[in-house]
Structure 1
Amino acid sequence: MKNELTSRSSSEALRMLTAPLSPEQFFRDHYEKRYFHSQRVKPEICDLLSIDRIDEIIADSELPAKAINMAKSGRGIPHSEFTFANGAVDRGAVLDGFRDGATIILPQLHFADGKLYDFCLSLQRVFGARTQTNIYMTPPGEHGFGIHYDDHDVFVLQVAGAKDWEIYGDRETLPYRGEGFRSGHDDPGELKDRFVLETGQCLYVPRGTAHRALTHGDRPSLHITVGILVQTWADFMLEAVAEASLRIPEMRSSLPRDLYFDEGNRADHAATFKRLAQAIADTASFDATLSAFSGNFVRSQGGRVRGGLNALCEPIGADDRFTVREHILYSFEESGDDGGEGRQIVLPGASLPLSDALATQLQERIAAGSVAKSDFTVEDSEELDDVIGSLVAYGLLRRA
């Protein structure tokens, strides 16, 4: 996978979260292993969001019911308590609930806030995973959730106020996605550490590490939780099995009718299972599976198209220069899904077919960081016009 995100921009975003640790120290000693409380105060954290911005969102933004949640003392508050009968958010009820001690939660706010979205995009390259933000605004002396662990790794960025944090035990194994903490069933382990997360500080908590946070002092707390939504080797191997099965005809046969009921044929069925497992091992392609995963990762990133409409309001001239937008992933791939030949560029939300001549030149120009139609020597000018326009529309290129 090739993308325009420079090592400097991605490492800067990570260093903001992990300093004084270097990225190498963080990945070696903490990632997916143990929590890390960075006590260094980083003003950049407070630049990402503010209480005034939350006030503006609640007061003036479009708020579908799923755009806001509330919780108090470890329990979620039903949407019916802060929405109207038609499902619209009752903004006054949200603020009144906050006054009464409830935490305001804005899930996936990065989709509605450009600064948070750019920050998430800058982290996706270094983690090789999608990232998201959830925002928590908690009144003094309150907490939204009880002791629990998450099924994904998180960075907690304390934007305003402070939180009293408690860190408990770890699971023996990392949880799968969806394998969340079950209150009253799962053991959080013994209390291991207690500390205050101050304004401008950051905390990393691996998935499976139980924790709880309560607002510290007499000021409300505002923090950003950045979730790292990794894919696992189990996900990769399942895709490899599916990909290999396309070339193993016997995998398409139905299960034996007596599989569940006839113990007498158990040995024969077990032998079939082992034979097919070996066939998968012999047939599975790492390269094909990697191509599918990387392409899906790029497509699912989500576009960043600010400025694109203005750029497309006028015809794009031969010497109009465009730069490659920061933090947008892309990849050049062979496009042989239908048995044909050719190449394509994969973008968030789209795959654009390319002739070989254009693909080679486009890959070079994008790697160089800027593009103008006059840079290319191609016979099909209509293809060039269409591709450059589409790259602007889908956000890879922005007017210089």
Structure 2
Amino acid sequence: MTGIPTLADLVAPVEVSQFFTSVQGRTHRRFAGQAGRFARLLPWTDLNRALRQHRLDFPRLRLAHDGAVVPVHTYTEMVDTRRNGQVPRLLNAPLSEKLRDGATLVLDSVQEMFEPVGDLAATLEHDLREKIQVNLYAGWGTTHGFDVHWDDHDAFIIQIAGRKRWRIHGVSRPFPLMRDIELPQRPEGEPIDDFMLEDGDVLYLPRGHWHDVSAVGEQSLHLTIGFNRATGVDLVAWLADQLRVDQLFREDLPRFGTAEDRATRAKQLREQLVARLTDDVVDRFLTDRDAQAPAHSRLGLPFTATPGLLPEGDEEEVLLVVPRAVLEPGDGTIALAAAGKRLVFAAAAEPVLTALLPAQPLSIKTLVEVAAPTLDRKTVRALLGELVKHGVLSPR
């Protein structure tokens, strides 16, 4: 694999459609792969450079050992700076010693630090239609970093280097939530699955599935790609926000009125609520959820800080930084709904916007060719510049 993996790459040989219908949210699944296929996503040299060059506060960077968090003061020190007060600095010897003794190094949100991982997150956000966070786990010992536990999000685990032992203990409460009325009970008995995740393998783990992970006495580096899928609770919360436009729902309830007053109000609220629960309410919610998803941080300097907004040469690449953007055709128009905005263009812009929609880099030249002969080069560049102004497109 030479490029950034897509969802199809992660779940092969299972088809993406089959993954959605038979695996996602239902069961864990291991997908075997060739050793080294993920190596370029995050080489050890890039991790070393990040640890050296970034100021990484706890808990974004932390160590875990035998199910407990290692006290941060045992491997860092606070140093004075001229303008920013004290900042943490990693201590080489204590940190390395704790890793040799079996601690696991955890680094959160690495999609913001390493460009290939950021590209992976954008690709998977487009494919899965949910926000993605990628955390890194590195270990060397024979202990486990965390006790048997469950997570409140779905996850893909990508084994970049080495291997780790995974034990899956099943589900005790289907589809648990971060804010829930009841916590899942730890399952009794032996694991339902016990296996080694090898270099190049992928594991899919739905939320609520109890598991534990152990190092096996050799180096291991893996990424956990977490995402929260939309639920009925999310839909109801979204609908509650939509109801704020209706005076009936903003009006105070008749707490001190008669029982008949309260019954009448309940009937009015129920009727208005049911009227909004149309057959397409799920589609409306998911479309709006995608359209509101924030843009990824990518400035595109120096170009975006200049009047031209774009590189002069058409061989340069641009990409949409809103992986879940939605196109809405109109009467002679095409609208791009993204990052909470709705940008309306003439219908002739549709081929360019459609080409950009997968959020993959494309050369300006390619986009000019896609638009021809309806739009000329100058118009295409003006369209791209408008997208840059609104923060939804960036030079590569």
TM-score (norm 1): 0.77
1:146 correspondence with 2:139: no
Deviations 1:116-141 (A, max 9, x none): 01111111122111111110111220
Kindly report the root-mean-square deviation, in angstroms, between the aligned alpha carbons of the 2 structures: 3.8
1:54 correspondence with 2:57: no
Q: Residue 168 of structure 2 contacts residue 209 of structure 2 at CA under 8 Å; is this kept in 1?
A: yes
Cα distance in 1 for partners of 2:188, 2:26 equals: 16
Cα distance in 2 for partners of 1:176, 1:236 equals: 14
**Match for 2:251 among 250, 253, 259?**
253
Question: 1:222 — aligned with what?
Answer: 221
Deviations 1:219-247 (A, max 9, x none): 12111101122221221232123313422
Deviations 1:163-203 (A, max 9, x none): 11111021332012355997xx8223432111111111111
Deviations 1:273-308 (A, max 9, x none): 344122211145677885675455345343363755
Question: 1:391 — aligned with what?
Answer: 387
1:163 correspondence with 2:164: yes
Cα distance in 2 for partners of 1:235, 1:121 equals: 22
**Match for 1:277 among 257, 263, 270?**
270
User: What code does the residue aligned with 1:231 have?
Assistant: A
User: What code does the residue aligned with 1:98 have?
Assistant: L
**Match for 1:43 among 36, 60, 63?**
36
Cα distance in 1 for partners of 2:181, 2:63 equals: 19
Question: 1:22 — aligned with what?
Answer: 15
Shift of 1:148: 0.5
Judged with a 3 Å threshold, the aligned counterparts in structure 2 of structure 1 residues 29 and 83 are, in CA distance, closer, same or farther, namely: same
Question: 2:363 — aligned with what?
Answer: none
User: What code does the residue aligned with 2:159 have?
Assistant: Q
Deviations 1:302-334 (A, max 9, x none): 336375534765746999577652674333459
Judged with a 3 Å threshold, the aligned counterparts in structure 2 of structure 1 residues 384 and 157 are, in CA distance, closer, same or farther, namely: closer
Alignment of 1:229-248 (within 5 A): 229-247=228-246
User: What code does the residue aligned with 2:319 have?
Assistant: R
Deviations 1:342-384 (A, max 9, x none): 9864444x73754xxx432333432356545997779xx9x99
Cα distance in 2 for partners of 1:181, 1:138 equals: 33
Identity %: 22
1:206 correspondence with 2:206: yes
1:351 correspondence with 2:348: no
Q: Which has the higher contact order (CA 8 A, sep 6+)?
A: 1
User: What code does the residue aligned with 1:276 have?
Assistant: L
Report how many residues are paired: 368
Structure 1: where are the runs of 5+ without partners?
Answer: 1-8, 336-341
Judged with a 3 Å threshold, the aligned counterparts in structure 2 of structure 1 residues 95 and 326 are, in CA distance, closer, same or farther, namely: farther
Cα distance in 2 for partners of 1:368, 1:157 equals: 29
1:130 counterpart SS class: coil
User: What code does the residue aligned with 1:367 have?
Assistant: T
Question: 2:83 — aligned with what?
Answer: none
Cα distance in 2 for partners of 1:54, 1:294 equals: 37
Question: 2:350 — aligned with what?
Answer: 363
Cα distance in 1 for partners of 2:256, 2:112 equals: 51
Question: 2:193 — aligned with what?
Answer: 193
User: What code does the residue aligned with 1:169 have?
Assistant: G
Q: Residue 82 of structure 1 contacts residue 94 of structure 1 at CA under 8 Å; is this kept in 2?
A: yes
Judged with a 3 Å threshold, the aligned counterparts in structure 2 of structure 1 residues 66 and 387 are, in CA distance, closer, same or farther, namely: farther
Question: 1:331 — aligned with what?
Answer: 326
Structure 2: where are the runs of 5+ without partners?
Answer: 79-85, 357-365
Q: Residue 65 of structure 1 contacts residue 89 of structure 1 at CA under 8 Å; is this kept in 2?
A: no
TM-score (norm 2): 0.77
Cα distance in 1 for partners of 2:127, 2:17 equals: 11
Cα distance in 1 for partners of 2:176, 2:113 equals: 29
Q: Residue 41 of structure 2 contacts residue 117 of structure 2 at CA under 8 Å; is this kept in 1?
A: yes
**Match for 2:65 among 65, 72, 77?**
72
1:88 counterpart SS class: strand
Cα distance in 1 for partners of 2:337, 2:301 equals: 18
